[in-house]
Amino acid sequence: MRDSVLYTLAQAALGGEIELATVPASAADPILRPFVRAQVRSAIAHAKTTAPNASDEHVLKLAFLLKLGPLAPGLSPDDVRGVASAFAIESKPYEAPRAPTRRITLAVLGIFLAILGAAFYFRLRPSADARFLDSPFGVALADPLTDFGLADETKKREKSRGDILSDDVRSQLGKATFTLLETAIDAPDVYLRSKAPFDEASGDLARAFDELDEALEKDGVPAFLAIEPREGDIGQRASVIYALHVRERADVSVRGANVKVAWGYRIDNLGAGWATVMRAPGSSWARVNLDVVSEAWSDLLVPVVIREKPSSIGGKGTPEDLRSLEKTLRTGMREDLRTCVGLDDATVLRIADAIEQRDSRFGILKDRFKFHRGSISAFQTPSARNEIKKIADDPMIDQALDWDSRIRADIDPITKGIAPFALVAEERALYAALTKEKFLADVEGASGGGDAIVAGTLALLSHPRPCYRFDLSALLFELLPYWTSWRDGHPSLTILDSLLTELELGGKDKWLPPKGLDVAALATALEKLAQKPPADIEAAAKRAYKKLFGADPAEYVRKKR
C-alpha cells in the first residue's frame, strides 16, 4: 500500500493541485483506495505543518519526500529549489500513469466465493447418516433385508437375496467383505439344516455374523448385521437377521469377562429384534437398539421434562408428595440436559417442536387409515418410511414424513440426548450378563428375585457417572410407574428398599406396611434421595450390593473402539 500512496502523491505533485491530490488513488485496488486516500491526506497535512507558507505544488512534493523517508542532510523543508530537485530524482519511478488494478479485490472475492461455496457444500451435501443409508449397501439393508426376513416363498426369498447381494453392494464392500456378507446371509439356512445341538449350531451361526461385523468395522462401514437364533420346545429352529446403522462401538469388561458392543438405529422394518440390549448365543458382540432407547424423547424428555406435562407418576389425582418428587426429577433433568448432557435450549426445543408436529400428523393418519405406527422411537427406520409412503397418496403422509426427516437430520443431538439412557441400559444388562455365570450363579436368589436387574442397577449406581443426577432421575421415572405390582422380591422394590435403608431415609417398613403401599411416604423418601450428593448414593449402593451379594460391585470397564 505504501507504493500506492507514493504514486498518488507523485502524480498529485506533477499536477500541482492540492484539491485533486487523492484522484490518482483510483489506480489503486478498490479495497485499498480508502486507506491510500487517508494516508495521502495525512501526508499532505504533515507537509503543510512542516512548511506552513509553501505553495500547493511545494507542499505536494514535500509530502512525497517526507513519505519516502527523512529529508537528505542539509535539505530544508522550505527550500523550494532543493525540494523540487530531490522530487525530480526520487519521483522517476512514479511518473508514468498506471492503469487501475483489482488484483487484491479479485483475490479476496475469490476467497470469499470459495468460502461461500464450501459453506453451501457442507450445508447442502447429505449428512454422513444419509450418505450411508442411500448407498447400495444401506439401501440393501432396508427393504430387501426386510423382504428377505418376511418372504414365505422361495422365489420371493431368492429375489430379496439377490437385491442384498447385488453387484453394486459387491463394488461398495469389496470382494473379501462381500464374501463374508454372502456367507452370513446364507448361514441361517445352514443353521436350520444342522443336526448339531442348539448351542453348537447357534454358535456357528453367530460366528458367521461376528466375522462379517468385524470386517465391516475394519472397513469403516457404519453397519452391524445381527442374528437372533431361536429353538422351540420340540426342537424346531428359526432365526431372524436385522441391521443397525452404527453410531458407536465399544469394548466392555466386567470381572474378567469381555464383550464388544455396538450402538445403532435399525435400518430394516422387521418385527423381531426389538429388545433394548441383545446378545446372540455364542456371539462376541452385544447390540444396543437406539430406536428403542430414543423413545425417551417421545415419552419422557419432550412431554415431561420439556413441556412439563404430568408423567405416569405425577398425574391427576396423585398425592402432592408424588407431584413434588416429579417436579424435582424433571427440574434436575432439564438442567442436566444443558449442563451435563450438552444440549443447548434452542436445540432441545427445535427437536421437541419437530417431534410434536410429526406425532400430531401420525395421530391423524392413525384415525384416517387405521395406521399403526409401531415403535414411538424418535424417527422411523428407512424401511418403515417406505411402508408409510405406500399407505396412500395423501398430503398428511407427506407432511408426517417431512417432519420425520427433519428429526432424522438432527440425529447427532438426538443421539447425544439419549446417550445417558443407552449407557444405563447397556450397563444394567451387560453387567448382569457378564457376571451371571462367574458370580451371580453362586448367590442366586440373594436379592429375593430378579438378581440380574438388582445387581446391574446397584452396580451402576455404585460408581461415579458423567451425569449421575440425570441417570438417577431417569431410573426413578422408570421404576416407579409399576409400584402397584410390587410384591416381596420385585426388583424395583428391592433396589429402592436397599438404597433408602442404607441412606437412613426409611426402608420399606416405613412405606410398605401390611395394609399396602404408602405412596406419599415413599415419594418423600425418594425426593430426599434425589437431593443427596452422588458420592453418598454411590457409597449406599455399594453397601447395599455387598449386603445382597456378599462382595463389592465390580467395575464396569468400557472403552470406545
The answer to whether 280 and 206 are in contact (CB under 8 A) is yes
Phi, psi of 240 (to 5 degrees): -140, 140
AA identity, residue 70:
P
The answer to whether 462 and 541 are in contact (CB under 8 A) is yes
The answer to whether 302 and 276 are in contact (CB under 8 A) is no
Buried b / exposed e over 296-334, threshold 16 CB at 10 Å, is bbbebbbbbbbeeeebebbeeebbebbbebbebbbebbb
| Greater model confidence, 25 or 467 | 467
Reported confidence tier of residue 291, pLDDT bands at 50, 70, 90: very high
Can you tell me the distance from the alpha carbon of 207 to that of 283, in angstroms, rounded to the nearest whole number?
6
Reported confidence tier of residue 280, pLDDT bands at 50, 70, 90: very high
Q: Is the pLDDT confidence value at 428 over 60?
A: yes
Q: Answer positive or negative: Cα dihedral of 135, 137, 140, 142.
A: negative
Its pTM stands at 0.77
What share of residues in the chain are helix, strand, coil (percent, to 5)? 65, 10, 30
Reported confidence tier of residue 178, pLDDT bands at 50, 70, 90: very high
The answer to whether 458 and 495 are in contact (CB under 8 A) is yes
Query: Could you tell me the three cell numbers for 22?
Result: 487523492
pLDDT in tens, 106-134: 777 777 777 766 655 545 455 677 889 99
Query: Could you tell me the three cell numbers for 465?
Result: 457417572
Per the DSSP assignment, residues forming a β-bridge with 307 are none
Residue 403: which residues within 8 A CB-CB, separation 6 or more?
Answer: 354, 357, 358, 361
Cell 454372502 sits at which residue? Answer: 182
Identify how many contiguous H helices and E strands the chain contains and give both numbers: 25, 6
Can you tell me the distance from the alpha carbon of 252 to that of 267, in angstroms, rounded to the nearest whole number?
25
Angle made by CA atoms 89, 94, 96, in degrees to the nearest 5: 115
pLDDT in tens, 503-545: 999 988 898 888 888 888 999 999 999 999 999 999 999 999 9
Averaged confidence pLDDT in the chain: 88
Shortest CA distance to 382 belongs to which of 122, 33, 137? 137
3-state secondary structure (DSSP) of residue 162: helix
Can you tell me the distance from the alpha carbon of 278 to that of 288, in angstroms, rounded to the nearest whole number?
7
Angle 395-409/382-389 helices, nearest 10 degrees? 170
Shortest CA distance to 352 belongs to which of 399, 400, 299? 299
Per the DSSP assignment, residues forming a β-bridge with 240 are 228
The answer to whether 91 and 24 are in contact (CB under 8 A) is no
AA identity, residue 429:
A
pLDDT value, residue 445:
54
Question: Pairing mode, if any, of strands 257-266 and 277-278?
Answer: unpaired
Cell 429352529 sits at which residue? Answer: 237
| Region of poorest pLDDT, from 42-51, 169-178, 421-430, 451-460 | 42-51
pLDDT value, residue 57:
85
pLDDT in tens, 386-395: 999 998 899 9
Query: Could you tell me the three cell numbers for 432?
Result: 448382569
Reported confidence tier of residue 316, pLDDT bands at 50, 70, 90: confident
**What's 350's DSSP letter?**
H
Can you tell me the distance from the alpha carbon of 143 to that of 153, in angstroms, rounded to the nearest whole number?
16
Can you tell me the distance from the alpha carbon of 3 to that of 14, in angstroms, rounded to the nearest whole number?
17
Q: Is the pLDDT confidence value at 176 over 60?
A: yes
Per the DSSP assignment, residues forming a β-bridge with 224 are 244
Number of residues in the chain: 561
Can you tell me the distance from the alpha carbon of 30 to that of 159, in angstroms, rounded to the nearest whole number?
66
pLDDT value, residue 367:
84
pLDDT in tens, 78-116: 888 888 888 888 888 887 777 776 676 677 777 777 776
**What's 552's DSSP letter?**
P
| Greater model confidence, 219 or 29 | 219
| Greater model confidence, 176 or 27 | 176
Residue 342 parent element (H or E): none
Q: Give residue 181's Cα distance to chain centre.
A: 28
3-state secondary structure (DSSP) of residue 480: helix
